[in-house]
Structure 1
Amino acid sequence: MTGLSSSSNAERAAAVLLVLGEAGSDGLALKDIAARMGEAKPAVHRTLVALAKHGFVEQARNRGGYRLGPSIYALACRQNTAAEKVRKWRPALMALAERLGHGVYLMERAGMDAVVLDMHMGTAPIQALTNGVGGRLPMGLGPGSASILAMQDGGTRDFILTANADRFAQRAIGQDIVRRMVERAAEQGFGIDLGEIIPGCGGIAIPIRERGGGTTTAISTAMPLSFLSQPNIDLVLREIRAVIAAG
């Protein structure tokens, strides 16, 4: 097996898992998985069979459907850096959600994406960018993701923004809007969305600087744009900074 085919197979397996991760417990049929990936059904089927051997994929209740298998859950429950971060920051997220009354998220960079490691909702309803824990966003989209990307070097920022441009467009968001959010976060030291992504909705995020100097994580909030007066922006920033400093 050549290096190229090995890489292609690994990428296809990762893409299958990501597609099934969005499908829920009902799973998806082979033809639907292949269509979402833009791949031929035989190649996708071979990947599904290989993943099923190790429990990463299993047959769904509907005949011919596939969903994530128990090995995914088992791996997620193992001791790892992400799980440690969730345990460390969960009390802070819960306290912030209670004090602010709005949704609070722990965001983590995952390659070209940002994922929700943990979240706690306040009492105020809000339309969020992601669908809960495990939700993914193209890196740069939203205040949490933008604040993390803003902490990377300029070359990395440009590469990711350019690579994710088509994915931003799929959400009807121009790369120029995302780039401005990231540049603003780099200048201010925090990410803020003033209704640029979802009309009427906004959010604030602060990146968490790690001991070694890198930044892959942020605490982010989602709230109605009407809440984001300057005094309330200052309040949210103080609250997030306080829990990060205490952590």
Structure 2
Amino acid sequence: MSEASEGKHGVQSIEIGMQVLRALAGGERAMMLKDIAAIAGMPASKAHRYLVSLIRAGMVEQDRETSLYDLGPLALHVGLAAIDRLDRIQLGLNAIAELRDRVNETTALSVWSENGPIIVRGERPRRAITVNVVTGTALDVLSSASGQIFAAYLPREQISKLIETELSEGRAPVGADSWPAIETMFERVRQTGISAVSGYHLVPGVEAVGAPVFNAGGDITLTMLVVGIQGMFDMRPEGQVVRELIAAANTLSERLGSSRRIVPA
């Protein structure tokens, strides 16, 4: 077999071994052989042979008392190295560009700062009438989709001062002018996995829907947005825009090492 042919076909035993490792990594705790084999879709005897090799390589370890298998020290080292090399912003920019192509609407990425959410960049669709999202735009917490998403998942002490300022300055949206109402709004965001805002006061006639992106620690790290023109934008939970947004946010969270997912109510 030629080198080119070998390179194209790969090494099947490694691919099978990765099935076993992926099954183990998907569990939340140490696992029994039979459970690993079931998830990997192979007989327990076959899974055991691969686990032995993975143990020798340091990717898996086995508790001598319980016989349970878990990820080994090399797996931890590889995982930490991968996380350290991740560029969340670049991955996020790639994700919103791909999402823009799927929904043909303006998409954007935002991060949290000490002054609230800020737009990192927007991607305009290939259509005549669009919404332009300006890089560096600072958004309110209560009246923007991005702000509501971040605030729903961040600790209260990190957001309370900004919210108090917006309340005192009359910048809260209708129905969110008290802490009980605000907490209800945030709980709705957590239950649905998204925030939908219509008629944002900075840009009249604009609608936006946002979804959270989580990091390896399970904390919110970014918000992905789709922005459209009021009356011309589908924000229905079952619509294509929201479905594609949730799928894109979940994929990006997974890429960042998170097992946390948006599961709409």
Normalised by the length of structure 1, the TM-score is: 0.55
- Which residue matches 2:90? 87
Change (3 A) 1:165 1:212: same
1:246 matched residue in structure 2: 251
Provide closer, same or farther for how the CA distance between residues 91 and 209 of structure 1 changes in structure 2, counting only shifts above 3 A: same
8 Å Cα contact 2:142/2:173 also seen in 1? no
Residues 200, 152 of structure 1: CA spacing in aligned structure 2 closer, same or farther, 3 A cutoff? Answer: same
- Identical-pair percentage: 15
In structure 2, what is the equivalent of residue 214 of structure 1?
A: 219
The range that moved more, 92-101 or 206-215, is 92-101
Superposed CA RMSD in Å reads 3.2
Tell me, yes or no, if the aligned pair for 1:206 and 1:241 is still in contact at 8 Å.
yes
Give the number of aligned pairs. 162
Which residue is equivalent to 1:103?
106
**Structure 1, residues 80-114: CA drift from partner, whole Å, max 9, x if none?**
x9x92221122221121122221111111101321
Secondary structure of the structure 2 residue equivalent to 1:184: helix
Structure 1 letter corresponding to 2:191: E
Contact 2:124 2:131 in 1 (8 A): no
Alpha-carbon offset, residue 139 of structure 1 = 2.9
Pick closer, same or farther for the CA change 1:124–1:136 going to 2, 3 Å.
farther
Q: 1:181 to 1:196 in 2, by over 3 A?
A: farther
Alignment partner, residue 125 of structure 1: 129
Letter in 2 for 1:89: G
Q: Secondary structure at the match of 1:222?
A: strand
Q: 2:140 aligns with which of 135, 138, 141?
A: 138
Residue 29 of structure 1 aligns with which residue?
none
CA contact (8 A) 1:86 1:118 kept: no
User: What runs of 5+ residues in structure 1 fail to find an aligned partner?
Assistant: 1-80
In the alignment, which of 165, 185, 192 is matched to residue 188 of structure 1? Answer: 192
The offset of 1:233, in angstroms, is 5.6
Partner of 1:164: helix, strand, or coil? Answer: helix
